[in-house]
Copies of this chain bind each other. A is one copy, B any other.
Amino acid sequence: MDDIITLDYGSGGKKTSQLIDELILKNFNNSQLLKLMDGAILPIQGHIAFSTDSFVVAPYFFPGGDIGKLSVCGTVNDLLMCGAIPKYLSLSLIIEEGFKTNDLSKILLSIRNTAIECGVNVVTGDTKVVEKGKGDGIYINTAGIGVIETEHYGKDKIEEGDAVIITGFVGDHGIAVMSARNNFFVETDIISDCMPLINIAKIIFKYGTKVKIMRDPTRGGLATTLNEFVEDTDFSIELNEKEIPIRDNVHYACEILGIDPLYSANEGKIVIIAADEIKQQLLNDLKELEEGKNAAIIGKVTKNHKGLVVLKTPIGGSRILTKLTGAQLPRIC
């Protein structure tokens, strides 16, 4: 391989074959991908979940992760949020001419390691190269297939009195990426929470229909996700600001930048709407996992403010949290 990726590597000819042999198959040598057919043939029983995301995060290496890790976690986590165990991933690369082959290797290794951690196989893929100035290093799309464990989740299941639970600190990913992009707050060591949510989702699956809906609050953050849960319904969500776990350094960075951490992206957290009667047991179970040890009950479902998300402040005030307006943090994932 050359030191940088040239347009030739996207031609479909010899250089493309070389890239596939030396970089892709080295990392993902499962029997499906080795066939190098136009797609993978997979045995499936029952219902599946199918999800996709394109990742355009800038910078593509950031504290706590990189675009490769993110592109596996993002799709794996979306499948889990559908109530599915992730099984198969596709991987499609759009590389800008001049991208360093060494950086591509690092990103593919990160994809490989994260896929192994998640128990998923990269079974099919594609590579395109665009001219210098027509991309930004690398964009990655993954699509994923998972096998449904439980398929009852939906906003139509939400009832008055349900509890709102978050599985850990909010806002880390957005602030970590923004800090890395602008070289802010280097000394405060803000790290993305980017991680697969398999273990934590499996705990949640056990609660069956007592869990009404869950989602990983990525772009738009916690506030936007909660708005999606109650918009166009008869319900509202009331959050207790003092219960929402936010790291000190994230809180500090947000104050300086004038950003609300409730709108900052997360890539390793789940927000859950669960029946009141199981909230304490579920919280206890979550806290036993390393990735759930900072979980908290942060609010409840009411009928007081139809369709709205309301934040109760420690001094007794309240503030309506709308969906994110505008691009607070573009290219965060």
Collect the chain B residues with CB atoms within 8 Å of residue A49's CB.
39-42
Determine the chain B residues whose CB is within 8 A of the CB of A93 once the complex forms: 54
Q: How many residues of A contact B (CB 8 A)?
A: 86
In the complex, the chain B residue whose C-beta lies closest to that of A130 is: B56
* Chain A, interface SS category: mixed
Interface 0/1 of A43-82, CB less than 8 Å to B = 1101111111111100000000000000000000111011
Q: Does A315 touch B at the CB level, under 8 Å?
A: no
List the one stretch of A108-116, A304-312, A323-331 in contact with chain B: A323-331
Any B CB within 8 A of the CB of A11: yes
Tell me the minimal C-beta distance from A143 to chain B in angstroms.
3
Central interface residue in A37, A146, A216, A218, by most chain B CB within 10 Å = A37
**A129→B326 contact, CB < 8 A:** no
Contact with B along A192-209 (1 / 0, CB 8 A): 000000000000000000
Among B14, B91, B151, B322, contact of A41 (Cβ-Cβ < 8 Å)? B151
List, in ascending order, chain B residues with CB within 8 A of A141's CB: 52, 54, 92, 141, 143
Interface string of A121-151 (1 = CB under 8 A from B): 0011110111101111001010111101001
Among A6, A14, A50, A146, the most chain B Cβ lie within 10 Å of the Cβ of A50
Interface residues of A in 83-104 (CB under 8 A from B): 83-84, 88, 90-94
CB of A219 within 8 A of CB of B12, answer yes
Tell me if A215 and B38 are in contact (CB < 8 A).
yes
Q: Quick check: is A22 within 8 A (CB to CB) of the other chain?
A: no
| A23 at interface, CB cutoff 8 A | no
Residues of A within 8 A of B (CB): 6-8, 10-17, 35-44, 46-56, 77-79, 81-84, 88, 90-94, 123-126, 128-131, 133-136, 139, 141, 143-146, 148, 151, 153-154, 215-216, 218-220, 224, 228, 263, 265, 322-331
Are B14 and A39 in touch, CB under 8 angstroms? no
- A12 and B44 contact, CB distance less than 8 A: no
Q: Check B224 against A38 for contact (C-beta < 8 Å).
A: no
Interface centre among A6, A8, A36, A263 (most CB of B within 10 A): A8
- A218, B12: Cβ atoms closer than 8 Å: yes
The answer to whether A94 and B52 have CB atoms under 8 Å apart is: no
A261 to B: closest C-beta gap in Å: 15
Can you name the residue of chain B whose Cβ is closest to the Cβ of A221?
A: B12
List, in ascending order, chain B residues with CB within 8 A of A41's CB: 47-50, 82-84, 148, 151
Evaluate whether A129 and B330 lie within 8 angstroms (CB atoms) in the complex, with A13-B323, A14-B325, A219-B11 already known: yes
Contact A12 B324, CB 8 Å, known A47-B44, A54-B126 = yes
CB pair B92 A54 closer than 8 Å: yes
Among B40, B43, B79, B143, point to the contact of A90 (Cβ < 8 A): B143
Nearest CB of chain B from residue A289's CB, rounded to whole Å: 21
CB distance from A5 to the nearest CB of B (A): 11
Smallest CB-CB A-B distances: 3 pairs = A12-B219, A13-B324, A39-B51
Asked if A39 meets B50 with Cβ closer than 8 Å, knowing A11-B324, A12-B220, the reply is yes
- Chain B residue with Cβ nearest A151: B41
